[in-house]
């Protein structure tokens, strides 16, 4: 079988590209420790209040230590449930001090939702039956939009809240 010289070049380029890709993937997986979440915490989507973090009184932002906060969120039916204020109205705006570390914990009782604080690295998929969590540091002051970036139905575009990082 005879291969044209350009076929040899493209085969060489393709195989070399594959090897470089696998080396980069291996470096990220083994040396840097990048891997998919393997210890997902499960929850009964029919009864999310059974989990302490998602009881109505524990939703929203809670200070746990100096500069450390926990944000518990329930995403459902075109709404982020961040708790209620003193008058019983739903909270749609939270304030976080600049430089704080925030552990975000989110779940949903209905369909797949997204959790994205635009302009930050906070981005996760919220699935029924699981608690999604990530820790971020809020370094830059400003007002950010918390939005759903996974289409969840006809009211998807109304699913947002405001996160303000204050000095």
102 shares a domain with 29: no
Percent of the chain with pLDDT over 70: 96
pLDDT digits (tens, 9 = 90+) for 126-149: 999 999 999 999 999 999 999 999
106 shares a domain with 46: yes
Mean pLDDT of 22-33: 84
Q: What are the CA-CA distances from residue 93 to residues 100, 112, 130, 152, 160 (Å)? A: 17, 23, 25, 22, 10
Q: What is the pLDDT of residue 96?
A: 95
Largest CA distance in the chain: 81
28 shares a domain with 85: no
CATH number at residue 94: 2.60.40.420
Q: What are the CA-CA distances from residue 67 to residues 93, 96, 100, 137, 147 (Å)? A: 19, 9, 5, 10, 24
Of 41, 36, 35, the closest CA to residue 127 belongs to: 41
117 shares a domain with 73: yes
Q: What is the pLDDT of residue 1?
A: 77
| Domain span at 31 | 1-35
The count of structural domains within the chain is 2
Distance CA(30)–CA(9), nearest Å, equals: 31
Does 113 score more than 60 pLDDT? yes
70 shares a domain with 13: no
Does 160 score more than 90 pLDDT? yes
Average pLDDT, rounded, for the chain: 91
Distance CA(109)–CA(63), nearest Å, equals: 25
51 shares a domain with 3: no
Contact 105, 70 (CB under 8 A): yes
140 shares a domain with 101: yes
Mean pLDDT of 35-40: 63
46 shares a domain with 31: no
66 shares a domain with 1: no
């Amino acid at each position: 079988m005879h291969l044209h010289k350009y076929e040899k070049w493209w085969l060489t380029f393709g195989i070399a590209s594959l090897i470089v890709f696998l080396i980069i993937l291996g470096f990220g997986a083994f040396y840097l420790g990048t891997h998919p979440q393997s210890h997902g915490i499960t929850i009964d989507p029919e009864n999310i209040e059974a989990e302490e973090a998602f009881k109505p009184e524990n939703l929203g932002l809670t200070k746990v230590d100096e500069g450390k906060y926990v944000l518990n969120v329930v995403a459902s039916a075109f709404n982020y449930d961040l708790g209620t204020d003193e008058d019983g109205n739903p909270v749609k705006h939270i304030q976080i001090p600049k430089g704080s570390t925030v552990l975000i914990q989110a779940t949903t009782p209905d369909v797949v939702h997204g959790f994205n604080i635009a302009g930050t690295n906070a981005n996760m998929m919220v699935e029924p039956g699981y608690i999604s969590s990530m820790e971020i540091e809020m370094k830059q002051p400003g007002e950010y939009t918390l939005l759903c970036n996974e289409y969840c139905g006809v009211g998807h575009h109304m699913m947002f809240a405001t996160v303000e990082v204050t000095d």
